[in-house]
Structure 1
Amino acid sequence: MRPRPAPRTAPAPVLLVIAHGSRDPRHAATVAELCARVRWLRPGLRVEAAFLDFNAPRVPGVLAGLAAEGAREVVALPLLLTRAFHAKADIPAVLREATARHPGLTVRRAGVLGPSPLLTAALERRLYEAGLDPADRASTGVVLASAGSTDPEASAVIAAITREWRHTGWCAVRPAFASASLPRTEDAVRALRAEGVRRVAVAPYVIAPGRLPDRIAAGAREAGADVLAGVLGPSPELARLLLQRYDDAARLRAEPALTA
């Protein structure tokens, strides 16, 4: 009696990383590096990047290409640290419009990246790479500098991260914002100095270089911060977090699928 052939397993959903896009070429280059690291961590997983604005390829074009190739399922992962307007409105609208054009293509939305202990680990990696000695942690105040948002949910997340990070050994942790909210980076640095904090470090809570991260860096330099970390970029922790969010969406089906 011949053995029955093993059942065919469905291919893993494609991971579609959706970034906002920027006129700054460093933004798209960073997204490409991050996707390359994810592919290295998960050989065989198809990882594509798409942008909402400024850069190519755009989300509708990538989904059209995947549908034409016969892809059946996609996990769309917003390359965003908080749930603000882009996560709540822009991306869902783009995905609904695009998938309506392609019968048979199912798109599942993964959650945004933050908050996560992996992001905190990436922030600390960047601080130490910028020259901060781990032994100086207890005498260092950190400014957690994010892009900023008018969405109160996003601001509340930054406040919560700041409170939690403060209890991991830093002498102080303060939030700052490059836009939309106050204080600015330079004001937060000066406030820590006024309180007698011996050493002040600025940790940009942003993924890729661009106009707002440059504003954070300029504020840190203007106020005389001792350490200015780099953006999160294609850090190992961020790549692992992308795969974690992908696995959650692909396995648990936490959010309803978008189908034509």
Structure 2
Amino acid sequence: MTQARMDPRTQRRSRAARRVRDLLRAAIVLEEFSAGPLPGEAELMLSFSASRQVVRDALALLRDEGLVKRIPGTGTLSVASKVRHSFSYMHGPEPVRDTEVVSHRILSTAREIAAPRVAERLRLPKGSACGVIEYLTYVGEEPYSACTAYVPPPLLDVVARGQQVEEWYRVYELAGFELGVTDQAVEAILADDLVAGLLNVATGAPLLLFERLVRDHTGTPLEYAFARVRGDRMTLTVQLPRHSWQCRRGPKRGPEA
């Protein structure tokens, strides 16, 4: 049934359910609910001024997303732990729960002739070699991201030790590098068969692709990488000022009383 032909009452219920879904998802991700079962249907109906069917439709949408599950006799439980990743400074994933540990597993390392874009980003001579590292990042026991990192050949052994650190960028600092600015580009993609298997998601599942260029404090490139992050494991957060001067000077003060 198309949206145009849908009964008006059904359209209103569908829109209401999606609004409740969005608000519930935000509350779950930000841990506004205590750990364990979500509030019951009657409490959710009161909280959102919604009918029982709207609440049930909203919970069904969240189940389709894999964020909650229904357990007969227990209720509806949150099952996905989202990592909140703020774009305020350069860092790795920050687990929501204190019991979750970030770890890395190196899948492969190799020396290859750098592709033109890799050579340009790493400032390598055309036709020269680069190091290639494939690795997985885990948050707790669940895979979080799959990454391909390109580095200048002298850094291949350094980055291969990333399996021993909790925060990926720390591997450079332990090797004596002072990190500077990192460029990040983010876009939404779908998981192919290989990445889906690595991340334990279905083929075609939503991912966030992070393309990054890591530099030291002098601007020298240290790493050019592509990280594919599970869309169901990450929430991006950032505070955006309205005007550029607020980035430099902070909030503008009004006239004194």
Q: TM-score, normalised by structure 2?
A: 0.29
Which structure ranks higher in relative contact order (CA pairs < 8 Å, sequence separation ≥ 6)?
1
> Quick check: which one's helix share is greater?
1
